[in-house]
Structure 1
Amino acid sequence: MISKEEFRKQVIKWADKIGVEPKEIQIRKMKNKWASCSSKGRLTFSHDLLFQPEDFRNEVIVHELLHLKYPTHNKMFKILLNIYLNQK
């Protein structure tokens, strides 16, 4: 498990790498999904992510941050998701 503060730092680090600025980062209980991104730039992450392995957390974080640039799962979204998750 990581703390909410550590998780937020992880999100901000990825946001800097991707070149986006979320307006707000929330962590709360979610029943049906790991995260969501509003059209106004608010990212909401499930509290349960704090208990997941780092690789999975990164996948969810990058996915949601990319939605700030690409609202749909278009070709560029998928290409960039793959690129970011496969670089170390």
Structure 2
Amino acid sequence: MISKEELKREVLRWANKIGVEPKEVQIRKMTKKWASCSSKGRLTFSTDLLFKPEEFRNEVIVHELLHLKYPTHNKMFKVLLKVYLEK
């Protein structure tokens, strides 16, 4: 398990690598999904991620951060998701 602060640090490290700036990062209980990204740049992550392995957290984090650049799951989104997670 990691703390909420550690998860936020992971998100900000990935944001720096990807070159995006989330307006806000929230961590709260979510019942139907791992995370979400608002059109205004607010990222919300489920507290359930605190109990997941780093590799899984990275997939969720990168996915949501890429939505700041690409709102849909277009071809560029999918290519970049793969590229960032292979490193």
Shorter-chain TM-score bucket reads over 0.9
Provide the residue aligned with 1:33 in structure 2.
33
- Deviations along 1:17-36, whole A, 9 cap, x unmatched? 00000000000000000000
Q: Would you identify which runs of 4 or more consecutive aligned residues in structure 1 move more than 4 Å? A: none
- Deviations along 1:49-70, whole A, 9 cap, x unmatched? 0000000000000000000000
Normalising by structure 2, we get a TM-score of 0.99
Distance 1:71 1:51 in 2: 27
* Number of aligned positions between the proteins: 87
Alignment of 1:73 with 2:65, yes or no, is no
Distance 2:85 2:50 in 1: 19
Alignment of 1:6 with 2:14, yes or no, is no
For the residue of structure 1 that corresponds to 2:43, the secondary structure is strand
Listed as ranges, the gaps of 5+ residues in structure 1 are none
1:10 CA drift (Å): 0.3
Listed as ranges, the gaps of 5+ residues in structure 2 are none
